Amino acid sequence: MLILLRILIRFGPGESGPKPIICRLCFSEFMPQVAPSILAADFSRLGDEVAKVTSAGADYIHIDVMDGFFVPNITIGPSMVKSLRPYSDLPFISHLMITHPERHAKAFAEAGSDIIEVHIEAEQDLEDTLRLVRGLGKKVGLAVNPPTPVQQVYPYLDRIDLLLIMSVNPGFGGQQFIPEVLPKIAAAKSEMDRIGSRVPVEIDGGINTETGDLAARAGADILAAGTSVFKAPDMRKVIDALRACGSSKD
């Protein structure tokens, strides 16, 4: 049954391509899912890295997009997403850490992104951006940085498919996990229950088996992990360990 539910979450009945259906009722009932972040991969062989982590049992591919304005670093654009698409049939989460994401959402959608995450802190008309992504036929996620009160996302919880809690300040990989963000997960889920609109919560930043366990116990449904997965000698072993995070919680 668990395997069937994971397939339904990933593709949906009768579909073979990377068109994820986020089954809100299935999350938090089982183990967290794992979304390896390619920011920590070897960029000289990025396609092979994506294929390898797919074979190792990942649930999503998490793609960090940075523009040098919203965050100080610059990473990749839609052409790279398009180039990576043939290497995996997993859903691609494009995490847009950029100013005015509405100007680029269509390009990332056409490149093969399945879920497009935007930041509540980014300069944009957020209502319009959320509608735009949905109109492109994609799932939409809303991200919140560590200093931002989680209450700021509450008005949008019934208009998104995924909530991303940042556990580092965005811009660079390999940062230390900020445990003070963990109460945001329970607070957001409590508000979701109040309004009757539960969506899964992803956490991103400094995730390894130790911090992943803390996050899973706090209620995280998806663990975005970069360095701990891509720098591991055995990716499958780490992914399995991350998926087991929180399994002993009361």
Q: Is position 114 annotated as part of the catalytic site?
A: no
Q: Which residues contact 57 (CB under 8 A, 6 or more apart)?
A: 34, 236, 239, 240, 243
Q: Looking at 59, 64, 114, 161, which residue is catalytic?
A: 64
| H or E, element range at 228 | helix 227-230
Distance between start and end Cα atoms, the chain: 22
C-beta atoms surrounding 151 within 10 Å: 12
Spatial separation of the C-alpha atoms in residues 211 and 145, rounded to whole Å: 17
* 3-class secondary structure, 66: strand
Measured CA distances, 71 to 75, 159, 202, 216, 247 (Å): 10, 25, 20, 27, 35
Structure tokens at 106: 């269509």
Q: Looking at 59, 114, 204, 213, which residue is catalytic?
A: 204
Q: Is position 221 annotated as part of the catalytic site?
A: no
Which residues are part of the catalytic machinery?
A: 64, 204
